[in-house]
């Protein structure tokens, strides 16, 4: 069963996303909303990663070397300069959409398995991830004009 692969992927994606939100928060403390918002969004990802653990215990966990490198490919240390915030928001969005598609696909599998507990977890976690993605898109749109035109 390949479900175990996606359970591991979603747990790792959420763990990486929490770490990335925390990292970005530290790099952009001068931005008024970044520290508090990123800490909140990181806590959501930690909760979602934890929720995957129960299903990993039930269905197992399979390692995928392809998925193991997304965080390290995107976050290689603090960025400097005027584009730093926008690039970090962009990378957070990429990580968040990775988690989002994992929850979507797991939800489809949960329906096929008729696993009501997994269906509910996927719906709840998908909704939370959608909120994270929406915040990242809104914050990116806010930063883009100043960064790309006036920067």
The whole-number pLDDT of residue 61 equals 79
Q: Domain of 30: which CATH number?
A: 1.20.1260.10
What pLDDT is stored for residue 1 in this prediction? 73
Which 3 state secondary structure label does DSSP give 95?
helix
> Residues 69-106: pLDDT tens digits?
555 566 666 676 678 999 999 999 999 999 999 999 99
Sequence-distant contacts of 58-61: CB under 8 A, at least 24 apart: 59/1, 59/3, 59/4, 59/7, 60/1, 60/4, 60/7, 61/4, 61/7, 61/8, 61/11
Mean pLDDT along residues 28-37:
91
- Confidence at residue 145, expressed as pLDDT on a 0 to 100 scale: 94
- 43: part of which helix (H) or strand (E)? helix 34-59
Number of domains in the chain: 1
Q: By residue range, what is the domain housing residue 25?
A: 3-150
């Amino acid at each position: 069963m390949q479900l175990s692969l996606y359970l591991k992927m979603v747990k790792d994606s959420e763990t990486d996303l929490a770490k990335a939100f925390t990292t970005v928060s530290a790099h952009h403390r001068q931005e008024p909303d970044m520290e508090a918002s990123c800490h909140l969004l990181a806590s959501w990802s930690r909760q979602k990663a934890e929720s995957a653990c129960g299903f990993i215990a039930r269905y197992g966990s399979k390692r995928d070397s392809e998925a193991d490198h997304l965080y390290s490919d995107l976050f290689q240390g603090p960025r400097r300069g005027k584009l730093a915030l926008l690039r970090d928001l962009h990378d957070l969005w990429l990580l968040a959409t990775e988690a989002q598609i994992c929850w979507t696909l797991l939800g489809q599998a949960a329906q096929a398995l008729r696993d009501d507990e997994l269906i509910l977890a996927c719906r709840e976690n998908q909704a939370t991830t959608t909120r994270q993605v929406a915040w990242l898109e809104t914050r990116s749109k806010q930063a883009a004009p100043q960064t790309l035109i006036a920067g």
